[in-house]
Amino acid sequence: MGKRRSYDAEFREGAVRIVLETGKSAAEVARDLGVHEGTLQTWVSRARGAVAAGTGPLEESEREELARLRSENQRLRKESVEWGMERDVLKRCMVLWVK
């Protein structure tokens, strides 16, 4: 059996970036870099999955928008709870008023 090679994260990210940004096939890039085609395809699949899942690296504008949306979401949840409490109070008032 051959010795298993290990690649650092920077090399893997660079190889994936070449495939995604240049439009070259994984096989072609793998040959150019001296990496097994299946290995590179695995890296590309993981990167695409991370982007789809939202766990990939974010740009500064995306981080700002995410922070803004999270704070807005928190504010709306608080308002929803308050409106629910107001609705419950009004229901009780209507019951008392009808009696």
Write the pLDDT tens digit of every residue in 2-28: 677 889 989 999 999 999 888 889 999
Each domain of the chain, given as residue ranges in start order, spans 7-57, 60-99
Task: Report the sign of the C-alpha dihedral through residues 57, 63, 67, 70, in that order.
Answer: negative
Give the predicted TM-score (pTM) of the model: 0.51
Domain 7-57 has CATH 1.10.10: yes
Write the pLDDT tens digit of every residue in 37-87: 999 999 999 888 876 666 667 788 888 898 999 999 999 999 999 999 999
Structure tokens at 50: 């991370």
- CA dihedral in degrees (54, 59, 61, 67; nearest 10)? 50
Dist. CA 38–CA 15, nearest whole Å:
13
How far apart, in Å, do the first and last CA atoms of the chain sit? 87
